[in-house]
Amino acid sequence: MSIQTLATSPFADQKPGTSGLRKSVSIFQQPHYLENFVQAIFNSLEGFQGKTLVLGGDGRYYNREAVQIILKMAAANGFGRVKVGQGGILSTPAASCIIRKYGAFGGIILSASHNPGGPNADFGIKYNIGNGGPAPEKVTDAIFANSKTITEYKQLAAPDVDIDRLGESRLGDMVVEVIDSVSDYQALMESLFDFDRIQHLLTNGSFRMCMDSLHAVTGPYAHAIFEKRLGAPAGTVIHGVPLEDFGGGHPDPNLVYAHDLVELMFGPDAPDFGAASDGDGDRNMILGQRFFVTPSDSLAVLAANAKLVPGYKDGLAGIARSMPTSAAADRVAARLGIDCYETPTGWKFFGNLLDAGKATLCGEESFGTGSNHVREKDGLWAVLFWLNILAVRQESVEQIVREHWQTYGRNFYSRHDYEAVQSDRAHALVDYIHAQMPSLKGKTFGAYTVDYADDFSYTDPVDGSVSKNQGIRIGFTDGSRIVFRLSGTGTQGATLRLYLESYEPNIAKHHLDPQVALGDLIAIAEEIAQIKHYTGMEKPTVIT
């Protein structure tokens, strides 16, 4: 086996987004494309010689080929060991767990998260640092800088490694260790939750749940934890076999794309509890019988009930939420007497808060929730947290949420996604809003008066770093908000996300449909941004 140094030239489009580099499969399959980006990662790192790298992905199309390329490049660049998930499979939270448990130097995760998979769909790659979390901006900036000047990359001339057989083998001077994808993660979950109590809930004959893994990475984890360890009946997990194209579905756990689960949970013989996770296992959707829990409310409910769960019985250091996420968690934090941090979108912004012990629970409105147990959001962790609460309180999902609203008030909240908007039109919409912002303060729209209009900027309380232009906020004097943000997770055009929030303390109005309660704000957003004109769309692609 010899180390090859191969000449290459830069690609102009390898700037990582909020969750790494995501492109269509055909782009990644170009000669040298993946290799360039991997070498750019290695070139931007220092001190990894002889150290351990964790490697795995969500099993989407091109995952196995990419694993082999990265193994040979890691060997050529001097890593001492790579822990790779069996079959190339590792959920994103499991990868974070393994990096932290074994003190790895870092990890490479192959996923485009909730984006579709298959030969004509998407692929992605991101680097996680030694704390188990996504690389911070200073690292991704260095990776991008390297990608723009790269002239060569290194790889080992060697046959492919058998990644389906557990155990160790050698690739040149490097050890390749194929590990069980589930066991370390399951052990971590058992240390946090009352598995005996959850097992009783799932086996007492009066409680039914359905876990939809959407033919994505959580299938093996869900089968192992819910059906085997916790004793839920066979069939509790649906769509539990990971497929390269996710069965032709869209592995995004929301009310539109997890349609089979939604039909079941809103049907005549609905289980008591339903949940779904996404492509790489870091997102979650929670449902009760004919009842949807918004991610914002889910974070708030978990925080309010955290002391019922063994891993959090001593209380929370703080709560962190992304800026577009509703302020429901802020109200819980205020009552608990702890801090609540508002960060930009992107899990990497929570890492410093978690490492510094300033926050314990974190959440994003985009169906991501997590805690200080790893440095990624974690879909199955959220499901187990809910099950632990349900097992202790012996109430339904709806009862728990409605009681929460009675205590804290209800933050009516919704997100409207306009997907695959032509990039120039999406940016023109943002420019149109920016042009109005200086004159919006004090302006009246019906019963609403603008209190502030800004582009969110965040100063990290730990390291002092500043992140600007993180989303347009228009706040009203009654506490209501409209937020506009272009998402960085898609690969086709741009996704415009419109977030709407209104606080309602009156219990008599808590029954309203959010789209009705937010109707005036929806109209104001259209008036301010001219969404239909700029997007060319009469209605959102997805409403959650």
The length of the chain in residues reads 544
User: What residues pair up with 486 in beta bridges, in sequence order?
Assistant: 496
Looking at residue 19, its pLDDT comes to 80
Cα separation, 361 vs 369, whole angstroms: 8
Predicted confidence at residue 66, as pLDDT, reads 98
Look at the alpha carbons of 66, 72, 78, 83 in this order and tell me if their dihedral is positive or negative. Answer: positive
Relative to beta strand 52-57, strand 81-89 is parallel
Q: Which of 44, 113, 371, 414 is catalytic?
A: 113
Separation of alpha carbons 484 and 532, rounded Å: 14
Distances (CA, A) of 231 to 226, 381, 493: 6, 17, 45
Task: List, in sequence order, the alpha helices (H) in 134-254.
Answer: 137-147, 183-192, 195-203, 218-222
User: Cβ(289)–Cβ(396) under 8 Å?
Assistant: yes
Structure tokens at 435: 């042009």
Q: Which domains are delineated in the chain? A: 2-181 (3.40.120.10), 185-408 (3.40.120.10), 410-543 (3.30.310.50)
pLDDT of residue 1: 77
Cα–Cα distance for residue pair 15/413, rounded to 1 Å: 32
Give the pLDDT of residue 280: 95
Identify the pLDDT of residue 490.
Answer: 52
Contact 10, 38 (CB under 8 A): no
pLDDT at residue 477 in the model: 95
Question: 3-class SS at 490?
Answer: coil
Q: Are 519 and 500 in contact (CB under 8 A)?
A: no
Within 13 Å and on the Cβ side, how many CA atoms surround 247? 20
pLDDT averaged per 10 residues, the chain (length 544): 95 90 96 98 97 97 98 98 98 98 98 93 96 92 97 97 98 97 98 98 96 97 98 97 95 93 96 97 97 96 98 98 96 97 90 95 94 97 98 98 97 93 93 96 96 95 90 94 81 85 95 95 96 95 88
Task: Name the 3-class secondary structure at 47.
Answer: coil
- Annotate 124-148 with DSSP letters as a single string: EEEEE-TTSSBPPHHHHHHHHHHHT
Distance CA 44, CA 40 (A): 6
Nearest CA to 108 out of 131, 84, 139 is that of 84
Coil, strand or helix: which one is 83?
strand
Catalytic residue at 322?
A: no
The predicted pLDDT at position 491 comes to 54
Considering the entire predicted model, what is its pTM? 0.93
- Residue 492 pLDDT: 64
Q: Are 363 and 370 in contact (CB under 8 A)?
A: yes
Residue 405, phi-psi category: left (phi > 0), alpha (psi -120 to 50), beta (remainder) = alpha
Residue 199 CA to its chain's centroid (Å): 27
